[in-house]
Amino acid sequence: MRNFVEMKENVTIIKVGGKIVEEEASLDLLLKEFSALPGRKVLVHGGGRTATAVAAKMGIETKMVEGRRVTDADMLHVVTMVYGGLVNKNVVAKLNSCGLKALGLTGADMDVIRSHKRPVGNIDYGFVGDVDCVNGEILAWLMNRDIVPVMAPLTHDGSGQILNTNADTIAGETAKALVPYFDVTLIFCFEKKGVLKDPDDDNSVIEHITPSDYDRLKSEGSIQGGMIPKLDNSFTALQAGVKRVIITRVGEIGKNSGTLIEG
């Protein structure tokens, strides 16, 4: 009897920053690219600038610590409305107009992503969630019925509490949860061509980054700020069996450009 290994379908998870989904031209380009991708796919989005603008109109102060949003009770109301409502449904409507069967989800929908409230340390981030588990089985079930999940950066704790959760983390944890069901490619898409050796030079793209490269580039100061959690999530995803992780910009998805993260 001949032994064989059943081939898994491919799935591409695109995480797109709020700056892209909040600007009409870049969003339209992204969704055109995303719709044309072959195979199963998931879109994870941010929306922080819109949340900040809506909060200001409501007289709610935005507090950031090291680039991360402090989410008190009032801000939680804002991000729930903006991420799970305004931004998510705008993206879903546009994807459906492209012929896809898009479904907007927060982590609370169908118990897809559970998290716990981040413990208070030197900083109290408020209602911010750190992911405990992603239900890859449900997401795979949806995709196998040609449904495209569009995931907002909100999770829940299983006891009725919504929590604000980093979109890069949601993308990475979702990629890991889908490894048993698909061959997974994770793409972080933002406004730059990739990871830059010189943040002021858009053409200084680093084509490949290994763990040793990452340590060196951090120590040199070439990689800092918001790129660090992106790369941390990238390497964690590769270690969990994700096939490829790419950091690139809108307009370059699927063109083998940007930065390839290698385990």
If you write DSSP's letter for every residue of 51-91 in order, what string do you get? HHHHHHHTT---EEETTEEEB-HHHHHHHHHIIIIIIHHHH
pLDDT given for residue 75 in this prediction: 97
pLDDT given for residue 17 in this prediction: 83
260 — pLDDT class (breaks 50, 70, 90): very high
Q: Are 147 and 187 in contact (CB under 8 A)?
A: no
1 — pLDDT class (breaks 50, 70, 90): very low
- Running DSSP on this structure, what letter comes out for residue 11? E
Residue among 168, 174, 167, 177 at smallest CA distance from 84: 167
pLDDT given for residue 6 in this prediction: 60
> pLDDT tens digits, residue range 13-37?
999 987 888 889 999 999 999 999 9
Mean pLDDT score, 49-67 = 92
Q: Where are the domains of the chain?
A: 10-261
Number of C-beta neighbours around residue 85 at 10 A: 14
Q: What is the pTM of this model?
A: 0.92
| pLDDT score of 106 more than 70 | yes
Mean pLDDT score, 72-80 = 97
> pLDDT tens digits, residue range 216-254?
988 888 887 778 878 888 999 999 999 999 999 988 887
Q: Tell the CATH topology of 10-261.
A: Carbamate kinase (3.40.1160)
> pLDDT tens digits, residue range 161-211?
999 999 999 999 999 999 999 999 999 998 888 988 888 888 889 999 999
Which amino acid does the sequence have at 250?
V
Laid out side by side, the sheet with 154-156 consists of: 129-134, 113-117, 154-156, 162-164
> pLDDT tens digits, residue range 125-154?
999 999 999 999 999 999 999 999 999 999
Mean pLDDT score, 87-99 = 96
pLDDT given for residue 19 in this prediction: 82
Q: Return the structure tokens found at 95.
A: 């994807």
